[in-house]
Structure 1
Amino acid sequence: MTVSTAPSRTEIVREADGYDHATIYNGEQRLHVVVRGEGPLVLLVHGFPEAWFCWRNQIDAIAAAGYTVAAPDMRGYGRSSKPDAVEDYIVTKLVDDCAVMVEALGHDEATIMGHDWGAMVAWTAAWTRPELFTAVVGMSVPFGGRGLIPIGGVDSFGTRRPSVVQREIAGPDKLFYQEYWSKPGALESEFETDPRGFLRGQYFSFSGGPYPDDFQAPDPLATTPSQIAEQIRNGGVCMDLDAKFSDGHVIPEADPDWLAADLDDYVREFTRTGLRAPLNWYRAMDKSWEELAPFEDKPVEVPALFIGADLDVATQWGAEAVAAFDRTVPQHRPSVVLEKCGHWFSRERPAETTAAMLDFLAGLEQR
């Protein structure tokens, strides 16, 4: 094990897994970042409930293509700090963490790529700090403006406070999942009762696994706003008032290979850390919406790519937002929609996901 020290209170340790593990400090917040390679910086931002190692299938390939790859445990996750206050998870603070990582690793700029909540952070970083985050790839979730996650037929561009949008989606007799997840202790108690069962159900239910092999998915980007709204209201993400979220989980008879490969790691990680801090990202959405008011109506002005999947509900919900990219993300590349996979496509379809990421990076080099 070797140890080196970089500027800005950054310690870098080569660990037994062969990766450099950096500890970077943003004020009082400690950020754990896995680093590999040399060259222009590519920052990979995970979502919920994942960790730096959701990018295992991408890190080495991107580094081998001539880039420095940095994959953090984001604030609230893994080996990074977990502050108590909801205000500490406002999206602009998550972006600031990313900015500190870029500087601490000795770079002037970075391409930022994110999946799920990581996509919302990545879009916001490129939107609000284009001088630093000079290109962006959003995966699963397209650009949603102040609202962070776009929901066609209800609010795709962040024109209203997220909690108001969530209430409208569900109506008086149900709860939208984000509203339930924001209730202190609700989802945490489901997880703590059975961590492995909860995570197994969460990952499988939102993958392509529940669909039969011969299922022909329609083009998710062709979904109309009214169809999206109806799908959400009638789907499992709108819950009965007395239900638990995990009541809607689909449990596999046997774990698919992609899930079996890393389920033990996720169970170990979240059994140690719990879900309270990651769920604060959802609980801070209204505060994030308020903080982003100065950027309303401003487009994302850097080169951008959206990667989705045909069986991913977030891709389906974002069809209206993607259709508006000529206005909201004018330097966007043609969107990539991966087939026969769901929300976790960096794990379900790692080769195709990596190829799309590398193609985008190669295009930047050719500018």
Structure 2
Amino acid sequence: MLQRTVTANGQRFHYAEQGEGPLVLLLHGFPESWHSWSHQIPMIAEAGYRAVAPDLRGYGRSSKPRRVDDYRITELVADCVGLVEALGETEAVVVGHDWGSMLAWTAAWTRPDVFRGVVGLSVAFGGRGLLPVAGVSSLGELRPSEVHRVIAGPDKAFYQEIWIDGEGLAAEAEEDMYTFFRDQFHSFSGDVYPADHQPPNVLTISPEEVLEFTRASGAVVDRGSRFRSGLVSPETLPEWLARDLDFYVAEYERTGLHHALNWYRCMDLDWELLAPYEGRPIEVPAMFIGSDLDVATLWGAEAIANFPTTVPRLTETVILERCGHWITREAPVATGEAIVRFLRTLSSAK
């Protein structure tokens, strides 16, 4: 696996690369980096593809513009298009997890001339709103800040409000990066649930049930509370977390979280910028990979149900079992196999 840098869309991007063949662009989420794809990169390469996983704008060893609106979704999509061009290609399949999923869906939605296929992990296609949350605004009917207030109710706050308020989450994390990342990753993983926990069925649960679940979870807190007060510390580190924790602690002790959080600070602006695409379906072949213990997959239940209309060329919805939010690391082999299976459907369709 090689690591390089390239200039694209006026920014410098660090990326990891392996393999030869059609380009597959792998987009990480928050708070991660190219490293989140370290298990899937060799699997995709071995299957006959060129796997490229960049540190996205504001992360790792890539550029970190200072202005908040430099992190608007149209500029992030332009980064993806620029990366394809800088890598000497004209098209790519785009695969994303978490925030990377929102970016991947949007790239395929707005630039189908460049992105010939899309795989979204964890976060279903949310239209203008990017993140479909609890059935309140599955396709961007309301601007994100309004969605947050509806979900939280009076005297409460949705977690994203805390994250973007001043230094917010960045200040909390930087007090002790090790315990913050340990508890953040653990709290949204499948390991936080007891072995006999029966998750709701994301394919049958109602929007009302999802909203009730969300309000009762750590995603909604008392105003003035610290986000990390709702996190859970593991008694022992699971293998997948022990393997990666030191990498992420070192990475964010060096960079901080401030620039990465600007992606969240732009969500209302993104909603405005994507207005011209409202009501349009995604035109290219697609796959969705969620997991049964991932709150973000559950939030998107209504959006998943809308896939026949919004993502009419969807080839498959995969729901991984006994897996939390960190799909690429908690279920690395199953994730890689699903992505390769999708890539091969594109090849066989030619």
| TM-score, reference length from structure 2 | 0.98
Deviations 1:294-328 (A, max 9, x none): 11111101000110000000100001001001100
User: Residue in 2 aligned with 1:104?
Assistant: 86
Root mean square deviation of aligned Cα: 0.9
One-letter amino acid of the structure 1 residue matched with residue 260 of structure 2: P
Q: Does 1:56 align with 2:38?
A: yes
Q: Give the secondary structure class of the aligned counterpart of 1:70.
A: strand
User: Residue in 2 aligned with 1:363?
Assistant: 345
Q: For the Cα contact (< 8 Å) 1:221–1:315, is it kept in 2? A: no
Q: Does 1:340 align with 2:325?
A: no
Match of 2:112 among 118, 126, 130: 130
Residues 1-367 of structure 1: matches in 2 within 5 Å?
Answer: 19-367=1-349
User: Is the deviation greater in 65-74 or in 210-219?
Assistant: 210-219
Deviations 1:129-179 (A, max 9, x none): 001001000000000000000023310010111111111111121000111
Deviations 1:190-218 (A, max 9, x none): 10111000000110000001111222323
Shift of 1:91: 1.0
| TM-score, reference length from structure 1 | 0.94
Q: Give the secondary structure class of the aligned counterpart of 2:7.
A: strand
Identity, % of aligned positions: 56
Deviations 1:35-84 (A, max 9, x none): 11100000000000000011011000100110001100000000001111
User: Is the deviation greater in 308-317 or in 27-36?
Assistant: 27-36
Alpha-carbon separation, structure 2, partners of 1:131 and 1:27? 17
Q: For the Cα contact (< 8 Å) 1:152–1:224, is it kept in 2? A: no
Number of aligned residue pairs: 349
Alpha-carbon separation, structure 2, partners of 1:218 and 1:235? 14
One-letter amino acid of the structure 2 residue matched with residue 103 of structure 1: E
Q: Give the secondary structure class of the aligned counterpart of 1:353.
A: helix
Change in CA separation of 1:188 and 1:179 when aligned onto 2, cut-off 3 Å: same
Q: For the Cα contact (< 8 Å) 1:157–1:321, is it kept in 2? A: yes
One-letter amino acid of the structure 1 residue matched with residue 154 of structure 2: P
One-letter amino acid of the structure 1 residue matched with residue 109 of structure 2: W
Deviations 1:240-276 (A, max 9, x none): 1121000010100110000000100000000000000
Deviations 1:203-244 (A, max 9, x none): 000000111122232322221111111111121100111210
Alpha-carbon separation, structure 2, partners of 1:117 and 1:27? 20
Alpha-carbon separation, structure 2, partners of 1:279 and 1:365? 37
Q: Give the secondary structure class of the aligned counterpart of 1:222.
A: coil
Shift of 1:21: 2.2
Alpha-carbon separation, structure 1, partners of 2:200 and 2:134? 16
Q: For the Cα contact (< 8 Å) 1:307–1:338, is it kept in 2? A: yes
Flag structure 1 segments of 5+ consecutive residues without an equivalent.
1-18
Alpha-carbon separation, structure 1, partners of 2:135 and 2:33? 32
Q: For the Cα contact (< 8 Å) 2:9–2:79, is it kept in 1? A: no
Deviations 1:114-142 (A, max 9, x none): 00000000000000000100100000000
Shift of 1:184: 1.6
Alpha-carbon separation, structure 2, partners of 1:151 and 1:290? 18
Q: For the Cα contact (< 8 Å) 2:8–2:86, is it kept in 1? A: no
Q: For the Cα contact (< 8 Å) 1:152–1:321, is it kept in 2? A: no
Shift of 1:27: 4.5
Alpha-carbon separation, structure 2, partners of 1:281 and 1:85? 11
Change in CA separation of 1:356 and 1:27 when aligned onto 2, cut-off 3 Å: closer
User: Is the deviation greater in 151-160 or in 130-139?
Assistant: 151-160
One-letter amino acid of the structure 1 residue matched with residue 146 of structure 2: V
Q: Give the secondary structure class of the aligned counterpart of 1:305.
A: strand
Q: For the Cα contact (< 8 Å) 1:141–1:315, is it kept in 2? A: yes
